Amino acid sequence: MNIGVPKETAPGERRVALVPETVGRLGKAGHQVVIETGAGAESGFPDDLFTAAGAAIGDPWAAELVAVVQEPSAAHLDRLTRGAVLVGMLKASTSPDLLRRLADDGITAFSLELLPRITRAQSMDVLSSQATVAGYKAVVLAAEAAPKLFPMMVTAAGTLAPAKVLVLGAGVAGLQAIATARRLGAVVSAFDVRPAVKEQVESLGARFLAMENQVTSEGTGGYAKELSADQHQRELDFLAASVRDMDVVITTAAIPGKRAPILLTRAAVEGMRPGAIVVDLAAESGGNCELTQAGTRRDHHGVGILGPVNLPASVPLHASQMYSRNVATFVGHLIKDGKLVLDFADEITKATCVTHEGKARL
């Protein structure tokens, strides 16, 4: 099959959907890849690396299957051929206009963030691969912004105590943040409402914060559920007390399909040490801290609150490399002997296919 890879045009987006290594792998599987010139330039993959891997440089929008990172612009959607396949993090479930448009244009579209969290889909799981990058980068941002060093240091000028880092929400991004902060030498603790997480946190050398009458909430598919108002208030009180002596708090809590839960109130921030840093990875979905402003840093009572958006795009080489492997595995799942084979009884296909044969499937 002919696979097109355009240059991403969303503001700040530096990733590319396929990297040369995977182009080679797809070539061996019998696919031809067409790259838009400069598609990988910002992620460290110039055109010549793609051509060396067997890609052609040309118009990616004319291809039978187009792989993207983010939702294409309306002008680019115009250039897709009727009957083409579109694969990417399209956020189709929250974009009814896009969904209608793709259905009207006869595009078979797959929204990769809808992949089920099942073992079979792990190698295609774009949420996990990109959350791994975000969790790592959140710690790097915190270390850069903090007025302290992270590790303990015994020097001729005296002994420095290690920084204390608290990670709230220990899913994929949170566990990576714990591992990264530990590698930098911080003393790390973490909190989550899913009880299963305690062991994972401890296996990374961090302490799991225990509440009296632990608040727990486990939904389907390994995700958390929204807490009741009473449980939420107890959590807020517990966290306000827990963040008082922290140097860094990294928040990653999310509930699928809902606004991110508030974990840090204004009062909790006001109780923190001056110079402390909050990195709110949930900034794009409303923020875990009441004071977060997405895309910017805000200072309140001497505490710096960072609300970074699209962190994976700030580490574009490795983020693209992982995304590309996810996409190539997904393409391998869909295409057999050069033909699109759609089995809607298959969990992966059923969950991700958002438009087909002129109809929206959500």
234 binding ligand NAD? (CB under 6 A) = no
Q: Are 343 and 41 in contact (CB under 8 A)?
A: no
Question: At closest approach, how far in Å is the CB of 269 from ligand NAD?
Answer: 17
308 binding ligand NAD? (CB under 6 A) = no
Q: Which is nearest to 320 in space by CA: 21, 64, 30, 55? A: 21
Q: Are 146 and 275 in contact (CB under 8 A)?
A: yes
Residue 248 to residues 177, 288, 303, 309, 356: CA-CA distances in angstroms? Answer: 11, 14, 10, 18, 46
In whole angstroms, how large is the CA radius of gyration of the chain? 22
**Stretch of 105-113, 145-153, 216-224, 349-357 lying at the interface with ligand NAD (CB under 6 A):** 216-224
Distance from C-alpha of 190 to C-alpha of 226, rounded to nearest angstrom: 19
Paired tokens of 295? 């895309």
Backbone CA torsion sign across 218, 221, 224, 228: negative
Q: Which is nearest to 317 in space by CA: 44, 121, 94? A: 44
Residue 350 to residues 110, 277, 334: CA-CA distances in angstroms? Answer: 10, 42, 11
333 binding ligand NAD? (CB under 6 A) = no
206 binding ligand NAD? (CB under 6 A) = no
Question: At closest approach, how far in Å is the CB of 288 from ligand NAD?
Answer: 8
Local structure of residue 153 (DSSP, 8 states): E
Local structure of residue 289 (DSSP, 8 states): B
Which residue among 25, 137, 194, 325 contacts ligand NAD (CB under 6 A)? Answer: 194
Residues 98-117 that bind ligand NAD (CB under 6 A): 117
155 Cβ contact list (under 8 Å, min separation 6): none
**Residue placing its CB nearer to ligand NAD in the complex, 163 or 348:** 348
Which residue among 108, 132, 252, 321 contacts ligand NAD (CB under 6 A)? Answer: 252
Distance from C-alpha of 321 to C-alpha of 129, rounded to nearest angstrom: 10
325 binding ligand NAD? (CB under 6 A) = no
b/e for 248-283, b at 16 or more Cβ within 10 A?
Answer: bbbbbbbbeeeebbbbbbeebbebbeeebbbbbbbb
Strand partners, 355: 109, 360
Which residue among 3, 63, 141, 254 contacts ligand NAD (CB under 6 A)? Answer: 254
187 binding ligand NAD? (CB under 6 A) = no
**Residue placing its CB nearer to ligand NAD in the complex, 8 or 125:** 125
Question: At residue 184, what are phi and psi to the nearest 5 degrees?
Answer: -80, -5
Number of residues binding to ligand NAD, judged by CB under 6 A:
33
121 binding ligand NAD? (CB under 6 A) = yes
131 binding ligand NAD? (CB under 6 A) = yes
Question: At closest approach, how far in Å is the CB of 6 from ligand NAD?
Answer: 27
Question: At closest approach, how far in Å is the CB of 177 from ligand NAD?
Answer: 11
Question: At closest approach, how far in Å is the CB of 255 from ligand NAD?
Answer: 5
**Residue placing its CB nearer to ligand NAD in the complex, 185 or 256:** 256
Question: At closest approach, how far in Å is the CB of 203 from ligand NAD?
Answer: 13
Q: Are 73 and 61 in contact (CB under 8 A)?
A: no
Which residue among 255, 269, 289, 313 contacts ligand NAD (CB under 6 A)? Answer: 255
Question: At closest approach, how far in Å is the CB of 101 from ligand NAD?
Answer: 28
Distance from C-alpha of 336 to C-alpha of 241, rounded to nearest angstrom: 56
**Stretch of 43-51, 71-79, 88-96, 189-197 lying at the interface with ligand NAD (CB under 6 A):** 189-197
280 binding ligand NAD? (CB under 6 A) = no
171 binding ligand NAD? (CB under 6 A) = yes
Which residue among 43, 70, 108, 128 contacts ligand NAD (CB under 6 A)? Answer: 128
* Residue nearest ligand NAD by beta-carbon distance: 171
- What residue ranges bind ligand NAD (CB under 6 A)? 117-119, 121-122, 125, 127-128, 131, 168-174, 191-194, 197, 222-224, 227, 235, 252-256, 261, 263
